[in-house]
């Protein structure tokens, strides 16, 4: 028998210890001097897994770190609905990524036990409930609280640049006050590249055309993902400002004790036109079942937007302005995605045109009381699948992940610091009105991911380093094309590049020079990170 305790008991014992640590950590933040100026060795903006990893590693190496983010919670999408870690080959990853997974596994050993029927659902720690992921991030951050200050709910307003360095940033606190921060090294851990953009770093947003980098999958693109082949149309391959759909990856439950009914959103009529085509899909047999999504412990299910269904939690076309939008427009877009998800489920539960079997199935589902409690039990972070992409000192393209017939491997790159190992993976860029032969524009997806055209490839240090700023690293909004970002846009990769960025910042401090002058080849060995999939 494995060691197992009651979940409530855990929350009252081990959980209480975690809560106490977290409260101490929060109190440390609140205890900062009243001055509107703070200084540190490393400033990280964005508490995505990449941002958290950067802050944790820098603090572990002796740096005074400030981690600020506009959200109230750490962990980005991993703690807000992305419960199925996107790793085709988990054995490739090391460092903090593995440490995070081990911490998740340890939490579940205490709460459900290894002999539980639910234990297989966590896939050895790579699948998890959002609240468990957030707890793991809180614990990792709190362990470094002697040197790491976490500032949740802080919004970036301005970055001051002098010559080839960022000197300081200006933030807006949760109470509306101004807060200035000066640092030696700055790290942009946001999905959108917000800090880099504030520092006037050149970037890309839309999709490159096929001709720019000779990428066969670039530009406007129609694909029969069942066969893995393009559907040739007159406009295939042209550049496009359209980017892939976002969604609110939602958590549902059938547990009556934790069940929160789903209410009809006030904006339901606005979204109804997006759901009505489902009725024809039901009649034609194109859609026969509508499940709750991936099962998780404690009778929870995680539902993602769909690659193949023309109507799902995805909102194609709504995301295009997100990367460059201000905080208020993003708030409106987030509400749109959450309202779309709420209306979608309410439609399945109540519309008379929905088949009885599907309607009855969804009437048994509600939101879970223990998830996203401060956001109406809907995700507090929508799934931002792509944002800005900086123009760095190295560019990652489709070719980084294509096997060269002459060498029998993907290309070697100078100063590799990580491995991108996922499939090409892009959700629809246009809605169903632009579908051809039932396939939506922009989709890149291969059911057998490990055997698709994308194979593990090297990511260079220069992809994190802007061309003209020497003290800024960007481990998430990497220098890449749209097609390459479809491989890079996975949390394990970002957690790896984030940790490398944190280590580089610590070495730059010790050596008294900028991260642009750090020897990248010395970084991965110190973190026991693999950088060559063929070694």
CB neighbour list of residue 157: distance below 8 Å, 6 or more residues apart: 170, 171, 172, 178, 198
Separate counts of helices (H) and strands (E) for the chain? 14, 18
CB neighbour list of residue 159: distance below 8 Å, 6 or more residues apart: 166, 168, 169, 170, 186, 195, 198, 199
- Which structural domains are found in the chain, ordered by start? 39-203+458-527 (3.50.50.60), 250-375 (no CATH)
Which element (helix H / strand E) includes 161? strand 155-162
- Quick one: what percent of the chain has pLDDT higher than 70? 93
How much is the pLDDT for 147? Answer: 98
**Which band of pLDDT confidence, cut at 50, 70 and 90, is reported for residue 401?**
very high
Q: Is the pLDDT of residue 8 over 60?
A: no
* Cβ atoms < 10 Å from Cβ of 25: 19
- Cα gap 109→118, rounded to integer Å: 11
Q: Is the pLDDT of residue 10 over 60?
A: no
- Cα gap 240→228, rounded to integer Å: 21
What average pLDDT does this structure show over 15-19? 35
**Which band of pLDDT confidence, cut at 50, 70 and 90, is reported for residue 96?**
very high
What SS3 state is found at 381?
coil
Give strand pairing partners of 42: 65, 185
What average pLDDT does this structure show over 34-40? 83
What average pLDDT does this structure show over 116-134? 98
Q: Is the pLDDT of residue 27 over 70?
A: no
What average pLDDT does this structure show over 38-52? 98
- Cα gap 7→386, rounded to integer Å: 36
CA distances from residue 30 to 182, 208, 495 in whole angstroms, order as listed: 19, 45, 27
How much is the pLDDT for 236? Answer: 87
pTM of the complete model: 0.94
* Cβ atoms < 10 Å from Cβ of 240: 21
Give the tens place of pLDDT for each residue, 366-400.
999 999 999 999 999 999 999 999 999 999 999 99
Q: Is the pLDDT of residue 12 over 50?
A: no
How much is the pLDDT for 24? Answer: 35
Phi-psi region of 62 (alpha: psi -120 to 50; beta: other; left: phi over 0): left
How much is the pLDDT for 35? Answer: 59
CB neighbour list of residue 103: distance below 8 Å, 6 or more residues apart: 136, 139, 140
Nearest to 209 by CA among 198, 219, 195, 196: 219
DSSP code at position 271: H
Angle at alpha carbon of residue 117, lines to 116 and 123, rounded to 5°:
90
Q: Is the pLDDT of residue 4 over 80?
A: no
How much is the pLDDT for 17? Answer: 36
Q: Is the pLDDT of residue 353 over 90?
A: yes
Give the tens place of pLDDT for each residue, 135-146.
999 999 999 999
Nearest to 133 by CA among 296, 7, 256: 296
1-5, 112-116, 179-183, 519-523: lowest mean pLDDT where?
Answer: 1-5
How much is the pLDDT for 26? Answer: 40
Q: Is the pLDDT of residue 2 over 90?
A: no
- Quick one: what percent of the chain has pLDDT higher than 90? 91
- Cα gap 107→14, rounded to integer Å: 9
Hey, CA dihedral for 146, 19, 188, 493, is it positive or negative?
positive
Which comes out higher in pLDDT, residue 29 or 124? 124
CA distances from residue 210 to 216, 239, 255, 413, 513 in whole angstroms, order as listed: 6, 7, 49, 22, 39
Percent helix, strand and coil across the chain, each rounded to 5? Answer: 35, 20, 45
Q: In the block, which residue shows the tokens 């006050």?
A: 177
Give the tens place of pLDDT for each residue, 153-183.
999 999 999 999 999 999 999 999 999 999 9
How much is the pLDDT for 381? Answer: 97
How much is the pLDDT for 164? Answer: 98
**Average confidence score pLDDT of the chain:** 93
């Amino acid at each position: 028998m494995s060691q197992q305790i009651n979940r409530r008991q855990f929350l009252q014992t081990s959980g209480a210890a975690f809560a106490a640590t977290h409260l101490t950590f929060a109190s440390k933040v609140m205890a900062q001097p009243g001055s509107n100026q703070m200084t540190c060795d490393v400033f990280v903006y964005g508490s995505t897994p990449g941002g958290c990893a950067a802050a944790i590693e820098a603090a572990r190496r002796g740096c005074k770190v400030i981690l600020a983010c506009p959200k109230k919670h750490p962990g980005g999408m991993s703690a807000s609905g992305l419960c199925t870690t996107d790793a085709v080959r988990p054995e490739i990853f090391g460092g903090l990524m593995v440490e995070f997974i081990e911490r998740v596994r340890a939490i579940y050993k205490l709460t459900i036990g290894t002999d539980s029927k639910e234990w297989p659902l966590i896939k050895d720690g790579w699948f998890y409930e959002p609240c468990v992921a957030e707890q793991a991030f809180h614990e990792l951050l709190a362990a470094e609280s002697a040197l790491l200050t976490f500032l949740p709910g802080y919004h970036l307003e301005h970055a001051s640049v002098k010559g080839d360095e960022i000197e300081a940033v200006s933030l807006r606190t949760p109470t509306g006050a101004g807060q200035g921060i000066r640092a030696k090294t700055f790290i942009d851990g946001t999905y959108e590249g917000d800090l880099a953009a504030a520092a006037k770093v050149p970037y890309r947003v839309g999709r490159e055309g096929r001709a720019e980098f000779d990428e066969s999958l670039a530009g406007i693109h129609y694909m029969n993902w069942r066969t893995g082949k393009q559907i040739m149309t007159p406009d295939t391959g042209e550049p496009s400002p359209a980017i892939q759909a976002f969604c609110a990856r939602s958590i549902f439950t059938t547990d009556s004790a934790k069940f929160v009914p789903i209410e009809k959103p006030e904006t339901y009529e606005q979204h109804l036109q997006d759901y009505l085509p489902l009725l024809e899909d039901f009649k034609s047999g194109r859609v026969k079942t509508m499940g709750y999504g991936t099962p998780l412990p404690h009778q929870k299910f995680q539902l993602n937007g769909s690659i193949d269904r023309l109507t799902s939690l995805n909102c194609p076309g709504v995301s295009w302005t997100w990367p460059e939008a201000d905080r208020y427009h993003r708030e409106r877009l987030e509400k749109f995605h959450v309202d779309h998800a709420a209306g979608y489920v309410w439609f399945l539960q109540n519309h008379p045109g929905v088949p009885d079997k599907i309607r009855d199935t969804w009437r048994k589902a509600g939101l879970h009381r223990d998830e996203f409690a401060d956001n109406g039990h809907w995700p507090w972070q929508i799934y931002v699948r792509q944002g800005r992409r900086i123009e760095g000192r190295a560019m990652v393209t489709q070719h980084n992940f294509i096997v060269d017939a002459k060498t029998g491997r993907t290309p070697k790159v100078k100063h590799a610091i990580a491995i991108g190992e996922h499939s090409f993976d892009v959700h629809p860029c246009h809605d169903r009105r632009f579908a051809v032969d039932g396939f939506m524009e922009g989709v890149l997806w291969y059911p057998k991911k490990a055997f698709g055209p994308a194979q593990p490839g090297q990511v260079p240090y220069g992809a994190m380093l802007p061309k003209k700023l020497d003290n800024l690293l960007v481990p998430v909004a990497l220098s890449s094309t749209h097609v390459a970002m479809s491989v890079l846009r996975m949390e394990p990769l970002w957690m790896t590049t984030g940790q490398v960025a944190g280590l580089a910042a610590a070495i730059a401090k010790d050596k008294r020079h900028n991260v642009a002058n750090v020897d990248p080849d010395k970084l991965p060995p110190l973190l026991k990170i693999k950088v060559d999939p063929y070694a």
